[in-house]
Amino acid sequence: MLETREHIELNTSAIDRGHKSIRGAVKKCFKSHIWTINNMPSGRRRGIEAVLFNLMKTIDLLDLDSVDGLSLDVWHETRDDLSDAFQDNCTSVELAALVDTARKFNIPKQYLFDPYRGADFWIRNREFQTFDELEVFCSNVGGASLAATMPVLGVTRKGWDVQAIKCGKAIMLTQILANAVNDFKQNKVFFALEDIEDCKVDIPRLKLRRESKSFRFLIRLYASRIEKLFYECADLASFLDFDGQRSLKSLLGRFWKTLLKMKIEPECILSEEGVLSSRDLLSLKSRHLMGMEKKIPIVHEQQSHH
């Protein structure tokens, strides 16, 4: 049994301390794209960071080894802590900040709990037999997390939910593709086993960062699937106000550039530097800071809502 921890009072002081703690942790975890919310007003930026903290907690669960059921114990404790927090029984100041954010921006609770459903599947199975299973996992983790940020980004009308979940799923699949080698080295295979078998991929060879024809085929197969998903949610930015559109366009620009590079040069995934170079990231960040986000085909241009 894990230790029972004392609950803290949900008040302004706890919420402020929670946001301060969250900011440092989130900046470290999502450093390659956290800059996409730098343009947001401070209150909304803090809210997005709180949602990302919830995603970060889920990612931590994916790194747990399934030994003697301990990872499931941690999963239950983490999820129960979130549930208790919504009853004003918080076990940390970070949860106090997250609950305050959810209430302030009317975030549907489902989108904060769904990532834990995805983590539960991974902890219990440690593999995906089919691409459909992988898609459900990415919808629960990545899709729900982006959907949870939408009210904070500034939605101006209804009907965004389906596209937001699909877009978050596409982003997570892109990230899985880009991190494939590092995950393989940790014996984590976030690919459908049937695809690996059909493509005859040699995982031990990939762990050594050695390319092969079968590897290139697998990467292009996944890239084509993800590309289709991105195009299916090209109207998502139209549901946001001006600041939200800027952040979303920069976020999508970063992952779209990553996806295209992997599709054209699958071997870039084998680079220890990562798919995008420091120069690539600096260019994207500079454009965002100057308000000159590059047009991309997966974002339909529209009039922004001020």
Question: 155 pairs with which residues across the strands?
Answer: 240
pTM for the whole structure: 0.93
Residue 1: inside a domain: no
3-state secondary structure of 128: strand
Residue 304: inside a domain: no
CA distance linking residue 43 with residue 148, whole number of Å: 16
Residue 208: inside a domain: yes
Radius of gyration of the chain from its Cα atoms, rounded to whole angstroms: 19
Domain of 187: which CATH number?
A: 1.10.600.10
* Closest alpha carbon to 235 in 252, 211, 257, 260: 252
Mean pLDDT per block of 10 residues along the chain (306 residues) reads 64 95 95 94 97 96 68 88 94 96 98 96 94 98 98 97 98 97 92 96 91 94 97 97 96 97 95 91 90 87 53
Residue 7: inside a domain: no
Residue 285: inside a domain: yes
pLDDT of residue 301: 72
Residue 264: inside a domain: yes
Angle between helices 161-178 and 242-264 (to 10 degrees): 40
Residue 175: inside a domain: yes
Domain that includes residue 146, residue range: 12-289
Residue 4: inside a domain: no
Q: Is 181:230 a contact under the CB 8 Å cutoff? A: no
The secondary structure of 147-211, three-state, reads HHHHHHHCECCCCCHHHHHHHHHHHHHHHHHHCHHHHHHCCCCCCEHHHHHHHCCCHHHHHCCCC
CA distance linking residue 157 with residue 136, whole number of Å: 26
Q: Is 209:181 a contact under the CB 8 Å cutoff? A: yes
- In total, how many domains does the chain have? 1
pLDDT of residue 81: 94
Q: Quick one: CA dihedral 295, 301, 305, 306, positive or negative?
A: positive
3-state secondary structure of 38: coil
pLDDT of residue 306: 44
pLDDT of residue 269: 94
